[in-house]
Amino acid sequence: MSDQRRSPVQALFRRVIAINGLVFTAGTLVLALSPATVSPLVRLTEIPVLIVGLALILAANALLLRRSLAPLGALTALMRRVDLLRPTDRLADSGNGDLADVVRTFNAMLDRLEAERTAASAHALAAQEGERQRIARELHDEIGQSLTVVLLGLKRTADRAPDDLRDELRTIQETVRSSLDEVRQVARRLRPGVLEDLGLISALNALAADFPGVPVTRRLDARLPPLGGEAELVLYRIAQEGLTNVARHAGASRVELSLVRRPGGVLLSIVDDGRGGPIRESAGIIGMRERALLIGARLTIEHPPEGGTAVRLAVPVGEGD
């Protein structure tokens, strides 16, 4: 079809042919119009002229081709570092003729892939949150109530039991009460009702208060800009996952949880003084990266020089938010 656009391969082929033709034509004109001449049998004194002319032609050809094909090197480097779980820079459109079309097509492909990945992650995480809420309700309403009934029955039985059985029944009663507390804690972790009822700061305070073993230093700014329900849930879940990773893997003696306002948004930080070490892209970390992408936030996980691990989530907030 006459109106069909040239393919990038055909365009690149024609560009190389045009550059070579231009260089060799220019070299021919220079040799034809210059006072330099070559005898039918080349003399020794004319060999340097031919070598210099050939060198100039090759150098000009190499320079023009290198400048023309330079975007291919940048494009290859970008392909190597593309990661759909991390924001990826786009290659600048240099306006370099036919290769600019390749660059624009690759950038459009990245936009489409990241949009599809974000949509798929949003769907999966929404389903995950729904399943968490369902399990939390079942734990609270069914298992929690069943354990409460057992606990009350044990109390009545212990009150009427002989002295030699009463101590044993009270021990069982305490075990059931401890199990009931654990069920309630699991339900709270699965469904942060305090986040819906009292807000993000109260939810983070409760999360830090329940952190086992290690005291958590809190620096939570109460003067946060409006974030929206989705951003607050992402901040809470990433703080929860970060503290869980510290409890499981870090062996830390100190943890700091901070959420502060900064120009253009808010910054969440979970910093510990534990073992640190190489970052393994576990399911938890991948989940944090997917959540960050949902709200356009930037997640970084680093090991400071003084040791430990620092997890930071920068959440942008528009002027109108």
Query: pLDDT digit string (tens) for 93-119?
Result: 655 556 677 777 777 887 787 777 767
Structure confidence at residue 267 (pLDDT): 93
Structure confidence at residue 13 (pLDDT): 58
Domain layout of the chain by residue ranges:
8-116, 195-321
Q: Determine the topology of domain 195-321 in CATH.
A: Heat Shock Protein 90 (3.30.565)
CB pairs under 8 A, 24+ apart, for 190-196? 190/132, 190/133, 190/135, 190/136, 190/139, 191/132, 191/133, 191/136, 191/137, 192/233, 192/236, 195/232, 195/233, 195/236
Structure confidence at residue 198 (pLDDT): 78
pTM of the model: 0.59
Buried b / exposed e over 211-234, threshold 16 CB at 10 Å, is beebebebebeeebeebeeebbbb
Structure confidence at residue 258 (pLDDT): 92
pLDDT 10s per residue in the chain (321 long)? 434 455 555 566 566 767 777 766 776 666 666 665 555 655 666 567 667 766 777 777 677 667 766 666 667 777 776 666 666 666 666 555 566 777 777 778 877 877 777 677 667 777 776 777 777 777 767 777 888 888 888 888 877 878 778 778 888 888 888 888 888 777 766 666 677 777 888 888 888 888 877 888 899 988 888 888 888 888 988 998 888 888 887 778 888 999 998 888 899 999 888 876 666 666 778 888 888 888 888 888 888 777 788 889 999 886 544
Instruction: For residue 40, give the DSSP letter.
Output: S
Structure confidence at residue 3 (pLDDT): 40
